[in-house]
Homo-oligomer: A and B are copies of this chain.
Amino acid sequence: MASAPKAGSTARQRARAELTREIKAEARRQLAAQGAQQLSLRAVARELGMVSSAIYRYFPSRDDLLTALIIDAYDSLGAAAEKAGQSQPAAAVRGRWRAVCTAARNWALANPHEYALIYGSPVPGYQAPEATIAPAARVAVVFGQILADATALRLNAVPGQDAPGAADGQPQPGQQAPGAADGQPRSAPALSPLLALQAAALADAIAPGVPAPVIARALIAWTQLFGMISFELFGQFVGSADPADEFFAYAVDQMATLVGLD
């Protein structure tokens, strides 16, 4: 984000950007080492050879430092997901889905404290500021693109036939469930009006052209993915699916089928 030192700045501004970056780097180091709870402004300052009050010139409070780290974490995870999403040909939607899910898990396993920071319980009174929602959406956008590509592929494959109730994202309730013969994985219950609306809005935002029922199922897969990662990371799997590698692969596959990825 704002970590590239602008060339045309005064020395003071460059020094400020530099120090801001160093503070974040040291804070990230402590975060990775001991978790968010143990992140101490004083310790960061100590490590950087400055006095604690100086930190407040750069981050007005501990929460602001944490927010910066949260944004970085979202961006880091988002970049990993995007890279994984482009690692395969656009048409290989199922392979891309698998790659993105695996990338998300690997990122979480490699950066458990960062993951806990963004997908664990939010810090006490902490309210996610506006600046976090865009980076937070990056992973969702990757999934949306895969869905959109899959939908477009299906439409092209069967030129004369519309995707079931897809055009307006607002199918008549109870009308588009018959038979699982057209790529829809299975007869699905009709979406409630509000849910259909939410799905349509989501499609408009990040997955143009994708039918609402597919979006709704993708939401399921989305929550399943991060639920699974959280369970693994937070130790909820001990005694059941631990180690979780094979269960993870199985679940990713099942969810791909659920959302109708070929």
Question: Could you say how many copies of this chain the assembly holds?
Answer: 2
* Beta-carbon contact of B37 and A235 below 8 Å: no
Chain B residues, Cβ within 8 Å of A185: 186
Q: Are A220 and B255 CB-contacts (below 8 A) given A227-B228, A239-B133?
A: yes
> Closest residue to A121 on the B side, CB-wise?
B120
* Beta-carbon contact of B224 and A254 below 8 Å: no
> Which of A19-27, A82-90, A148-156, A189-197 contacts its partner?
A189-197
* Beta-carbon contact of B38 and A124 below 8 Å: yes
Chain B residues, Cβ within 8 Å of A120: 120-121, 234
* Beta-carbon contact of A192 and B254 below 8 Å: no
Query: Does chain B have a CB within 8 A of A131?
Result: no
Say which size band chain A's interface belongs to.
Answer: 35 or more
Chain B residues, Cβ within 8 Å of A38: 124-125
Query: Does chain B have a CB within 8 A of A44?
Result: no
Chain B residues, Cβ within 8 Å of A226: 227, 230-231, 236
Q: How far is the CA of A202 from the CA of B239 in the complex (A)?
A: 8
Chain B residues, Cβ within 8 Å of A240: 140, 198, 202, 219
Q: How far is the CA of A220 from the CA of B216 in the complex (A)?
A: 17
* Beta-carbon contact of B234 and A186 below 8 Å: no
Chain B residues, Cβ within 8 Å of A225: 227
Contact of A258 among B119, B189, B194, B254 (CB under 8 A): B254
Q: How far is the CA of A192 from the CA of B124 in the complex (A)?
A: 41
* Beta-carbon contact of A247 and B198 below 8 Å: yes
* Beta-carbon contact of B35 and A192 below 8 Å: no
Chain B residues, Cβ within 8 Å of A198: 240-242, 246-247
Q: Are A238 and B133 CB-contacts (below 8 A) given A121-B116, A220-B224?
A: yes
Chain B residues, Cβ within 8 Å of A176: none
17 A-B residue pairs with Cβ-Cβ distance under 8 Å, sorted by A, are: A34-B124, A36-B121, A37-B123, A37-B124, A38-B125, A116-B121, A116-B122, A128-B235, A185-B186, A189-B254, A192-B246, A192-B249, A194-B243, A216-B247, A219-B251, A220-B251, A226-B230
- 13 A-B pairs besides A120-B234, A223-B231, A227-B230 with CB distance below 8 A are A35-B121, A38-B124, A116-B122, A117-B121, A122-B235, A133-B239, A186-B257, A194-B246, A198-B240, A198-B241, A219-B247, A224-B227, A230-B230
